[in-house]
Amino acid sequence: MEAFIKGIPKAELHLHIEGTFEPKLMFEIAKRNGISIPFDSVEEIEKAYQFDCLQDFLDIYYQGARVLLTEQDFYDLTYSYLEKCAEQNVRHTEIMFDPQTHTERNVEFKTVISGILKACSDAEKRLGITSLLIMSFLRHLTEKEAFITLEESLPFKKHIKAVGLDSSEKGNPPSKFKHVFEASVKEGYIPLAHAGEEGDADYVWEALDILKIKRIDHGNKAMQDEKLVEEIIRRNIALTVCPLSNKALQVVPDLQNHPLKKMMNKGLKVTVNSDDPAYFGGQVNQNYLEIQKALHLSKQDIYELARNSFEYALLEEDTKRKYL
C-alpha cells in the first residue's frame, strides 16, 4: 500500500506555503537575516508544535513567518516544498500564500510573489511539476484590508488563479468578505475559502451562497447538515480535506474518527492534502498513508482520491486531461 500511495500521481490542492517552513530552513533564514527566534534547537521547535485548536497553531505559524524577508527567502521556502513534491510524485500543486502576513511587516507584495513564482518556474523546468497560486485573505483582518491586498495583486493578476480565505474561522464568517470576493471575481480570480474547519455548517452555506466558492477547503462540519451535503454534491464542488491537520488541531479526536470515508460514501468529492506539513507531522503521502490505515481505505479509494485531485484542480480542461 505504501508503494501504491507513493507511486500514484497526485495533485496537492490545499497547501499554505508558509506552512511548509521546516525548522531547519527557519533557523538558516533567521540566521542570515539576523532575526532571533524564541527557540534554540530544531527539537525545541518541534516540541512547541502541540496545538489545542486552530488559534494555538496560527500564533506559532505567524511567528515563524516573521523571518521571511527577501525574495530569496520566499524562493528557498517554495523550492524546498516543490522538491518534496517531486519525491512524492505530486505532479501538480495549487499553492496558497498569505500576502498580508508579510505586507503587515513591510515586506512588499512583489517580493513575496516574485520569489514564489521564480521557484515555481524553476521547478516546472527542472522537476516537471506544474503549479498555480491562490492568494488568501486573512479573515481575522478587515474587509478593507483585504481590498488593499486585492489592489496590490493586480499587477501580478496573470500569475494568480484564485483567491482564498484563511486564518481564524470562528467569529469571522464568510459574509464579512462578500464585497471583496465580488471584486475578486470581477478581476477574474476564482473564489475559494476555508469553511467548516472549526466553524459550523452555516459558515459553509455562506461560503457557497455569498462568496460563491468553487471548492471548499476542509468542509468537515458540512457533515452536520444533510441538506448542505446534498447541495455540495449538486454543485459538484470538491472538499480539500487535510487529515493530519485535523488531528493536530483537534478538529477530530483521532484519525479513526475522521469523516473522510463517510464523506466519500455520501458521494462528496474529496481530496487529500497536507495543509501545513511542517507543523502537522507529514507531507501529502503521509496524509494518504495514515488516513488509509485508520479507515482501512482500499486501493480503489486511494485511486479515487488521487483522481479527484486532478479532476478538481483549477487547471484548464485540456491540461487536466493530460493527467486523467
Residues of the binding site for substrate: 276
In a 10 Å sphere around its CB, with 0-12 CB exposed, 13-18 middle and 19+ buried, how is residue 240 labelled?
buried
The grid cell for 222 is 458540512
78 binds, among Zn ion, ligand ES4, none (CB under 5 to 8 A by kind): none
Closest CB 209 distance from ligand ES4, rounded Å: 21
Closest CB 223 distance from ligand ES4, rounded Å: 18
- Binding-site residue numbers for Zn(2+) are 14, 16, 194, 275
197 binds, among ligand ES4, Zn ion, none (CB under 5 to 8 A by kind): ligand ES4
Distance CA 77, CA 26 (A): 9
**Nearest residue to ligand ES4, by Cβ distance, number only:** 166
From the candidates 197, 198, 206, 290, give the one annotated as an active-site residue.
197
- Positions touching ligand ES4 (CB under 6 A) are 16, 19, 54, 61, 166-167, 194, 197, 245, 275-276
12 catalytic, yes or no? no
Count how many Cα atoms sit within 13 Å of the Cα of residue 249 in the half-sphere of its side chain: 28
The grid cell for 26 is 527557519
Closest CB 240 distance from ligand ES4, rounded Å: 11
Beta partners for residue 184, in sequence order: none
167 binds, among ligand ES4, Zn ion, none (CB under 5 to 8 A by kind): ligand ES4
Is residue 15 within 8 Å of 96, Cβ to Cβ? Answer: yes
Which DSSP string do the residues of 114-174 spell out, in sequence order? Answer: HHHHHHHHHHHHHH--EEEEEEEEETTS-HHHHHHHHHHHGGGGGGEEEEEEES--TT--G
**What letter represents residue 25's amino acid?**
L
Closest CB 251 distance from ligand ES4, rounded Å: 9
**Whose Cβ is closer to ligand ES4: residue 8's or residue 45's?**
45
92 binds, among Zn ion, ligand ES4, none (CB under 5 to 8 A by kind): none
Q: Which residues are catalytic?
A: 197
